[in-house]
Amino acid sequence: MGRGANDQGTLIIGGGVIGMSIGWRLAQRGEPVTILEKGQAGQEASSAAAGMLSIANEVKFQEDLSLLLRLESMKLYPDFVGDLESSSGHDVDYRTDGAIAISLHADDTAELRNLYEYQLEKKLPVRWLSGNEARELEPVLAGFVVAGVMCPMDHQVDNRKLVEALKAAYLRAGGELHEHCEVEEVRLQTGSSPEVLAAGEVWRAKRLVLAAGSWSGLIPGLQSWLRPLVRPVKGQALALTMPSADFLTHMIKTPDVYMAPKSDGRLVVGATVEEMGFNRDVTAGAIYELLRGAWRAVPSVYELPLQETWCGFRPGSRDNAPILGKTDVEGFYVATGHFRNGIINTPVTAKFMSELILDDSTPELLQRLSPSRFVRGG
Ligand SMILES: Cc1cc2nc3c(=O)[nH]c(=O)nc-3n(C[C@H](O)[C@H](O)[C@H](O)COP(=O)(O)OP(=O)(O)OC[C@H]3O[C@@H](n4cnc5c(N)ncnc54)[C@H](O)[C@@H]3O)c2cc1C
C-alpha cells in the first residue's frame, strides 16, 4: 500500500481520535494501514476536548440516536481503555467518579427537574440532590447552589493522554503515520482503487476512510454528493491549576459551563459553542464568561492560576449524530460528524468501522448513522 501502484490495505485521511482508533483496531487485526495527517496527530478537536464521557449530562430531547450510540460506546469503554493502556504503555486517566449537574436559582432548577424527568424516562441511573447533598459531595460548591442531579454513569478520560495512547498503540500494532502530510485531492473512479494526492505523491489503497473531522467536507476532488455535511462548531475552553487533587472529584455541570478535574491537577472549564467557521481567536469575552460561570458555582476558583486557554472545532452534522459507514462508491468510507461526543464515541466508532471494513458487518445502529441519510444535491 501507500505511494505507487499497490492497492492493498486501508488509507485513512485524518489522525484525530477517530482516524487513529479505527487505524489501531484495523492494524491489530493485521490490516496494513496508513494514516495521512495534515498537522500533528490528535492536535485538533481531539486535544481541544474536555474528555467527558457524558451519558446523562448530554441527554437532549429528540436526540435518541445519539444517546443510543453513547450507551453502546460506554459499554465498551472499560475494556477499550484496558486494551489501549496495555497496548500503548500509556495511562489515559479513566475516572469513574461521575458528574453532578447543578442549578443556581429557581429557573435553572425547573429546567434541571425537567431534564431529570427525561433522564429517568430513558432509564438512566440519575439521582436528585438537594443543595446540601450536592455540597456534601463537593464542599467547594457555592452556598446558594439550589439542587443537583448525580450522574454516576458519566465518566471521563484525559483526552490528551488518550491521543498519545492511541498514537503509540497504533504505531506498535504496525500502523504507518505520516504527519504534516495534507491530502490535497481525493480521486475515486469506478473499477479502480481509491487514490489521494498528498505531499506531491499519489497514494492508493484498497479502501479509503475519510476521518478528517471538521475538514471532512472540504477536501478537493470529492463529488458534492459524497462530501459529508459537516461544519466546524467552535469551542473555547481553559484550564486552571487546582491546589490539590481532591479540590473537585466529580465533573460539575452548571447552567453556564462545565468543569472537569483531571488527575494531573488541571481543572478544564468549557466550553463555548460558536458558529464562527474556522476562526481560531481565543477571545476575552469567551474566557471572561467561562471564568464567571465557573466562579459562580465554585467561588474559590477565583484564586486558581490560569494555566492555558484554547479553542477547537467540533465536527457538527445536521442531526448532531456521527456520519459513519460505507458510501455508494466501492471502497470509500466516512467516519466523521462526532460533534460534542467524539471522545465518548471513540470505542464504538472504532469497532463499527473496523468490523464493517474487514467483516462487512453492519449492525442496525450503524445503518442508522449511514452517510446516505443526508444526500447532498448536485
Ligand atoms: C472545546 C471542545 C470540547 C469538547 N469536549 C468533548 C467532551 O468532553 N467529550 C467528547 O466526547 N467530545 C468532546 N468534544 C468533541 C470531540 O473533541 C470531537 O468530536 C472529536 O475530537 C472529533 O475527532 P476527529 O478525529 O473526528 O476530529 P479531529 O480531532 O479534529 O481530527 C481530524 C484530523 O483530520 C486532519 N485533517 C483535516 N484535513 C485533512 C487533510 N486534508 N489531510 C490530512 N489530514 C487532515 C486534522 O488535522 C485533524 O487532526 C469537544 C470538542 C471541543 C472543540
| pLDDT tens for each residue of 255-290 | 999 999 999 999 999 999 999 999 999 999 999 999
How many angstroms does the Cα of residue 316 sit away from the middle of ligand 1?
Answer: 10
Largest CA distance in the chain: 68
Radius of gyration for the chain, computed over Cα atoms and rounded to the nearest angstrom: 21
Ligand 1: does its nearest atom lie under 6 Å from the Cβ of 160? no
Q: Rounded to whole angstroms, what are the CA distances from 49 to 16, 235, 258, 309?
A: 11, 9, 12, 12
Ligand 1: does its nearest atom lie under 6 Å from the Cβ of 22? no
Q: Which conformational region is residue 336 in: left (phi greater than 0), alpha (psi within -120 to 50 degrees), or beta? A: beta
Q: 155-156 and 52-53 as β-strands: parallel, antiparallel, unpaired? A: antiparallel
Instruction: Establish if 240 belongs to a structural domain.
Output: yes
Ligand 1: does its nearest atom lie under 6 Å from the Cβ of 315? yes
Instruction: Establish if 80 belongs to a structural domain.
Output: no
| pLDDT tens profile 176-224 | 999 999 999 999 988 889 999 999 999 999 999 999 999 999 999 999 9
177 plus 222 within the same structural domain: yes
How many distinct structural domains can be found in the chain? 2
How far apart CA 93 and CA 245 sit, in angstroms, is 13
What are the start-end ranges of the E strands in the chain?
A: 2-3, 10-13, 33-36, 52-53, 99-103, 127-130, 147-151, 155-156, 176-178, 183-187, 195-198, 201-204, 207-210, 231-241, 251-253, 258-261, 266-270, 306-316, 323-326, 332-336
Instruction: Establish if 79 belongs to a structural domain.
Output: no
Residue 376 has pLDDT above 70, yes or no: no
Continuous H helices in 258-372? 284-297, 346-359, 364-368
Ligand 1: does its nearest atom lie under 6 Å from the Cβ of 14? yes
Return the CATH number at 41.
3.50.50.60
Question: With bands split at pLDDT 50, 70 and 90, how would you rate the model's confidence at 63?
Answer: confident
| pLDDT tens profile 131-153 | 999 999 999 999 999 999 999 99
Q: Which of 316, 331, 349 is the last residue of a domain?
A: 316
Ligand 1, atom nearest to 345 Cα: 11
Ligand 1: does its nearest atom lie under 6 Å from the Cβ of 9? no
328 plus 225 within the same structural domain: yes
Q: 127-130 and 99-103 as β-strands: parallel, antiparallel, unpaired? A: unpaired
Which three cell numbers mark 218? 472540504
142 plus 278 within the same structural domain: yes
Ligand 1: does its nearest atom lie under 6 Å from the Cβ of 101? no
How far apart CA 127 and CA 150 sit, in angstroms, is 5
- Domain residues for the domain of 106 are 96-152+231-316
How many angstroms does the Cα of residue 224 sit away from the middle of ligand 1?
Answer: 22
Residue 2 has pLDDT above 60, yes or no: no
pLDDT at 378: 42
Instruction: Establish if 307 belongs to a structural domain.
Output: yes
The one-letter code for the residue type at 122 is K
How many angstroms does the Cα of residue 314 sit away from the middle of ligand 1?
Answer: 6
242 plus 350 within the same structural domain: no
Ligand 1: does its nearest atom lie under 6 Å from the Cβ of 38? yes
pLDDT at 122: 95
142 plus 167 within the same structural domain: no
How many angstroms does the Cα of residue 187 sit away from the middle of ligand 1?
Answer: 24
Instruction: Establish if 88 belongs to a structural domain.
Output: no
> Best of 22, 35, 36, 38 to mutate for ligand 1, by most ligand atoms within 8 A of CB?
38
Hey, what long-range contacts does 286-292 have (CB within 8 A, 24 or more apart)? 286/236, 287/236, 287/238, 289/256, 289/257, 290/236, 290/237, 290/238, 290/257, 291/238, 292/256
Query: Exposed, middle or buried by CB within 10 Å (0-12, 13-18, 19+), for 265?
Result: middle
Given a contact cutoff of 8 angstroms between Cβ atoms, the answer to whether 30 and 213 are in contact is: no
pLDDT at 5: 44
How many angstroms does the Cα of residue 137 sit away from the middle of ligand 1?
Answer: 33
Return the CATH number at 276.
3.30.9.10
How far apart CA 331 and CA 200 sit, in angstroms, is 23
At 147, phi and psi to the nearest 5? -155, 175
Nearest CA to ligand 1 atom 2: 49
> Best of 269, 313, 338, 339 to mutate for ligand 1, by most ligand atoms within 8 A of CB?
338
202 plus 349 within the same structural domain: yes
Instruction: Establish if 368 belongs to a structural domain.
Output: yes
Q: Which of 269, 295, 316 is the last residue of a domain?
A: 316
132 plus 236 within the same structural domain: yes
Residue 1 has pLDDT above 70, yes or no: no
260 plus 324 within the same structural domain: no
DSSP state of 88: H
How many angstroms does the Cα of residue 16 sit away from the middle of ligand 1?
Answer: 6
Instruction: Establish if 336 belongs to a structural domain.
Output: yes
> Vertex 68, ends 129 and 347: CA angle to 5°?
100
142 plus 235 within the same structural domain: yes
111 plus 136 within the same structural domain: yes
How many angstroms does the Cα of residue 105 sit away from the middle of ligand 1?
Answer: 34
Reduce the DSSP state of residue 3 to 3 states and report it.
Answer: strand
How many CB atoms are located within 10 Å of the residue 19 CB? 32
| pLDDT tens profile 68-126 | 999 999 999 999 999 999 999 999 999 999 999 999 999 999 999 999 999 999 999 99
How many angstroms does the Cα of residue 264 sit away from the middle of ligand 1?
Answer: 22
175 plus 37 within the same structural domain: yes
How many angstroms does the Cα of residue 217 sit away from the middle of ligand 1?
Answer: 14
Instruction: Establish if 67 belongs to a structural domain.
Output: no
Ligand 1: does its nearest atom lie under 6 Å from the Cβ of 215? yes
Q: Which of 270, 301, 316 is the last residue of a domain?
A: 316
Residue 4 has pLDDT above 50, yes or no: no
How many angstroms does the Cα of residue 315 sit away from the middle of ligand 1?
Answer: 7
Ligand 1, atom nearest to 342 Cα: 19
pLDDT at 374: 84
pLDDT at 3: 60
Ligand 1: does its nearest atom lie under 6 Å from the Cβ of 156? no
pLDDT at 145: 97
Percentage of residues in the chain with pLDDT exceeding 70?
97
Mean pLDDT, rounded, for 235-253: 97
| pLDDT tens profile 322-360 | 999 999 999 999 999 999 999 999 999 999 999 999 999
30 plus 125 within the same structural domain: no
> What is the residue-averaged pLDDT of the chain?
95
Ligand 1, atom nearest to 198 Cα: 42
